[in-house]
Amino acid sequence: MIRLLIVDDHPVVRDGLSSLFGRDPEFEVVGEAADGAEAVRLAGVLRPDVILMDLRMPGVDGVSATRELAAAGARVLVLTTYDTDSHVLPAIEAGATGYLLKDAPRDELLRAVRATARGEPVLAPSAVALLMNKVRSASTSPLSARELEVLRLVAAGSTNREAAAKLFITEATVKSHLLNIYGKLDVSDRAAAVNEAFNRGLLVPKTAD
């Protein structure tokens, strides 16, 4: 039997899910929580096999709760109405085992819970497409090789003049490259460009020897 903890701030949703799983002897709903803090507390007491987690809740949200629960070894299946990158990516990064939308058919939801209980990743088709697009965009740098060279020097603290000297180009050319970089990364200054480049994986922090 798969023991479930249902986490959602809407009582109607919790009741509906409890009823759905209650009709199948393979599942047992051992608890319900209305926010992330309560979910973490109950999970520590009840030790469910799978936690069905909503994302947007008052107080401690689903991503924060998922991060804490996953760190403790819990298996979390996010069940939400949102499939944008601002919701999917943070949830996956927080350690969610799966990500499913609330409009999923009953059989798909049951299969997803079974897979999550086994530790197998489960993703809604829209989430898969989003992650694939993210990987593709990350693997293709919008910056030219020379622009990356300039940005690496800027990230290391070089002034425009110092970067120009190191690359054997003029200071005006460095400024031109920086303007192109700002446009491609949709930023307005050096610090923002460096930060965005690290976020996109275009620049990699140096590790200590």
Ordered by start, the domain boundaries in the chain are 2-136, 145-199
Distance, CA of 56 to CA of 62 (rounded, Å): 6
Q: Are strands 122-123 and 98-101 parallel, antiparallel or unpaired?
A: parallel
For residues 48 and 68, give the distance between their C-alpha atoms in angstroms, rounded to a whole number: 15
| Spatial separation of the C-alpha atoms in residues 62 and 53, rounded to whole Å | 6
The span from the CA of 167 to the CA of 129, in Å, is: 40
pLDDT at 144: 86
Please say whether the beta carbons of 101 and 123 come within 8 A.
Answer: no
Instruction: Provide the CATH topology of domain 145-199.
Output: Arc Repressor Mutant, subunit A (1.10.10)
Share of residues in the chain with pLDDT > 70 (%):
93
What the block records as the tokens of 186 is 């949709």
Residues 37 and 11 sit within 8 Å (Cβ to Cβ):
no
2-136 is classed in which CATH architecture? Answer: 3-Layer(aba) Sandwich (3.40)
What are the C-alpha distances in Å from 185 to residues 43, 103, 148? 42, 35, 12
User: For the chain, which ranges sit under pLDDT 50?
Assistant: 207-209
Q: Give residue 208's pLDDT.
A: 46
